[in-house]
Amino acid sequence: MKGNVAGRLTHSPIHLLHRASQAVENAFASTVEIESLTPRQLAVLTTIAQHEGLSQTDIVEHTRIDRSTLADIVRRLQKKGLLQRRRTKEDARAYAVKLTEEGRRVLRTVGPLAERVDRRALDALPAKRRDEFMRALASIVSKLEQTASV
């Protein structure tokens, strides 16, 4: 029985994707070591840096992080002094989100470290299979997001 369960796990995309995610997040945490920043927090900072003044709804659209998780991430980043939120003129209920100077500094420091972790993860594959792997991951995400919203 024990071997059979282990065998099933080595063929389970759910299990293997989760383990890969854990491994990459651990590599990120040990490489970055800045203010306990997470990969999702970095994704939010990067998105805001590329599109200053987005609303939280817009950030959800860009990152595909669910609304409640994103609200928590924004609160945490604001508490760390990396983001600021201001009500928009167009909609008093919405907030425009911008990086603070400290947020810009952290992003300049962390960005290259995160790229190093990305390279380490892809270095696990032969060079000729890396693009195919990234396309396959994107395809999995796209298909599962489409079926989840149906």
Band (78; pLDDT cuts 50, 70, 90) = very high
CB distance 99 to 82 below 8 Å: yes
Single-letter code of the amino acid located at 82:
L
- Domain made up of 2-148: CATH architecture: Orthogonal Bundle (1.10)
Q: How far is CA 81 from the centre of its chain?
A: 19
Question: pTM of the prediction?
Answer: 0.84
Q: What is the mean pLDDT of residues 75-91?
A: 88
Q: What whole-number distance in Å separates Cα of residue 128 and Cα of residue 104?
A: 35
Average pLDDT, the chain: 90
Query: Sheet containing 83-87: which strands, arranged edge to edge?
Result: 54-55, 95-99, 83-87
